Amino acid sequence: MSELRREPLTGKWTIIAPERSRRRDAFSAKGEKRSRCPFCGGGNGLYEIYKIDGPEGWELKTVPNRYPVLGIEGSLERSGHGLCDRITGIGANEIIIDSPRHGLKAADYTEKELLNLFRAFKARMEDLAKDMRFRYIAAFKSIGEEAGAVIDHPHSQIVALPVIPPSVKKELEASAAYYAEKERCLSCDLLEEEIKSRSRIVFENYDFAALCPYGAAYPFQVSVYPKKHGHSFALCGDGSLKQLADITKEIYSRLASLLNSPAVMTAVSTAPLKDGRPDLKGELSYVESSFHWRMDIRPVITGASCFEWASGMTANPVQPEEAALYLREVAVK
């Protein structure tokens, strides 16, 4: 069974998952090409957790990950190992097969396929939130090998975690501190400024604004914010999910036209689960008002960087204002 270990010096949790090393391509530099795609058949008889059917058959399926980083069975146990902390590797690891269509690039997704995907994110988040062992539900997708997709069939992942990921924790703390002082949401204030200045805005529709963040870590990284305050992706109505599909399609198409169909990572950043969970430092007290969910989209056009590993910082060669300008003006093919 896997476990979560925390290094006392950095405070970071790592999932130690020895079962994953049984995966055929776990340690090879590049995954071997598979002769048959396991997702074309809709998961080859794996248990269907969630499914969307259409007139021609299945349109989306959610199945358990055959090589999960965390296991769903068992109880959550915490223990100390000297100065280090350990939690049993309890969690959920689901694969969403986004579409029956093999080999889609980001810009090939239809709005309907993206809407199905966002509906699946929401449904799985709502369901997994009922499990009191979980503190956070991560929803993300990689398209293309450079973005970490091992299988060339459009798929996404849902991972329910027994801890709040460090990146979310930092944002939670910053949002809570801002709210405690001003009784306003930090992201709502930032967004208002961005929409006024327009220099980093890429695209807007009725419910969402897409922008290149002021201190973007990666070139052409885009964040999509709901214009109306909301702390949780799972509370998004279906009308908003349609708007999210619309703006995602737009950003994927612009990135493809400008950067020749790069590999793309997409991740939802949403509030940690609150109801019935302990909040020992009080960061979740006003989370409904202080935290603002968003979705980040990052084309993968720079290779691994030793500087990033060595310093925890990145060097972005494209000024976010320029990136936004290029993305605003690119003609979508």
Q: How many residues does the chain have?
A: 333
**Complex with Zn ion: residue 23 or 102, whichever CB lies closer:** 102
Verify binding: residue 192, Zn ion, rule CB under 5 A.
no
Verify binding: residue 229, Zn ion, rule CB under 5 A.
yes
Segment interacting with Zn ion (CB under 5 A) among 25-33, 79-87, 192-200, 292-300: 292-300
* Among positions 1, 26, 37, 132, the unique one binding Zn ion when judged by CB under 5 A: 37
Burial of 204 (0-12, 13-18, 19+ CB in 10 A): middle
Verify binding: residue 102, Zn ion, rule CB under 5 A.
yes
* Among positions 119, 292, 294, 298, the unique one binding Zn ion when judged by CB under 5 A: 292
The count of chain residues that interact with Zn ion, using the rule CB under 5 A, is 10
**Complex with Zn ion: residue 88 or 156, whichever CB lies closer:** 156
Contacts of 272 (CB under 8 A, 6+ apart): 135, 136, 164, 168, 172, 284, 287
Tokens, residue 163 = 């801890």
**Complex with Zn ion: residue 95 or 323, whichever CB lies closer:** 95
Which stretches of 29-131 are assigned E, i.e. beta strand?
50-54, 57-64, 78-81, 84-88, 92-97
SS3 297: strand
Segment interacting with Zn ion (CB under 5 A) among 163-171, 172-180, 185-193, 266-274: 185-193
Give Rg (Cα) of the chain. 20
**Complex with Zn ion: residue 203 or 291, whichever CB lies closer:** 291
Q: Please give the Cα distance from 247 to 305 (Å, whole number).
A: 30
* Among positions 153, 155, 200, 249, the unique one binding Zn ion when judged by CB under 5 A: 153
Residues that bind Zn ion (CB under 5 A): 37, 39-40, 102, 153, 185, 187-188, 229, 292
